[in-house]
A and B are shown apart, each in its own frame.
Chain A
Amino acid sequence: MARKWNRLKARVYSRYHWINEWYGRLKGEQPTAVPLPPLAPLRVTLAHASVALVTSAGVHLRSQAPFAMDDPDGDASFRVIPGDVDPTALMITHDYYDHAAADRDPNCVFPLARVREFAAEGALGRAAPRHIGFVGHLLGAQRRRLVDESAPAMARLLRDDGVHLVLATPG
């Protein structure tokens, strides 16, 4: 029942997220100041860059375990998506946005086919050998798990693959 309610709210919020922004301003919410890392420079041209997608949209392979949506804090694990994946092998598990469009075409949130096109045309060096999917709705212990465990593991994976540029995409 909780998952149905979350998915219903997600359908409304996905289309009318300005309501949330308007409500936040009405309540006088202020952006939280956070320390920003310096800009990491791109050390190669885009035409030579290996580009990885990291998405919080809950994208994963059908053959992989779905993200656990029964925990109200979410699921801070991540899934590795091969760069040569067949798009039909992808699916989405995420109850906190409406992914009906992305179910039909994962490029709505995870534009791997477009990255491959750009690489084939020479605009990019290549699609990285591995990409990453996780779920962006994380609270409490799962948010700490993302910061302390999953995010560093993702960064190590991308560094090991020699990735030059990451494109982070939301759900």
Chain B
Amino acid sequence: MGIPTVTMSVVRTMTDALPAPRNVLVRFRLGQVFGEPGHREQQRTILRDALAAVHGIQESGNVIVLPYHWKRDTYSPG
């Protein structure tokens, strides 16, 4: 058995074409899957949600789409 892996993506077509066992899609720009530079809370939020996918995905190939929109959400400390 391999090492459990959570694979992030910002391009749905790529994820659909070549899904990994655990996929997390973020609807952000290429080059900014964790959000804006210096935006620590945003980065922490995306990271926390991505790590949670290791338990949240129960079937190989499934995709969790994170609910965030580019520069339209607020992120609380935590």
Contacts and interface: CB of A to CB of B under 8 A. Distances in A.
Contacts, number: 149
Nearest to A96: B30
A41 B57 CA distance: 11
B54 interface: yes
**Chain B's interface: helix, strand, loop or mixed, by majority?**
loop
A168 B8 contact: yes
Contacts of A104: 37-38
Contact of B3 (A100, A102, A109, A166): A166
Nearest to B12: A21
B73 interface: no
Interface residues of B, number: 45
A123 B52 CA distance: 11
Interface residues of A, number: 53
Interface of B: 1-13, 16-22, 29-38, 40, 43-44, 46-48, 50-51, 54-55, 57-61
Interface of A: 10, 13-15, 17, 20-21, 24, 29, 31-32, 34, 36-42, 46, 51, 54, 57, 97-102, 104-105, 107-109, 111, 114-115, 117-118, 123-124, 155, 158-159, 163-171
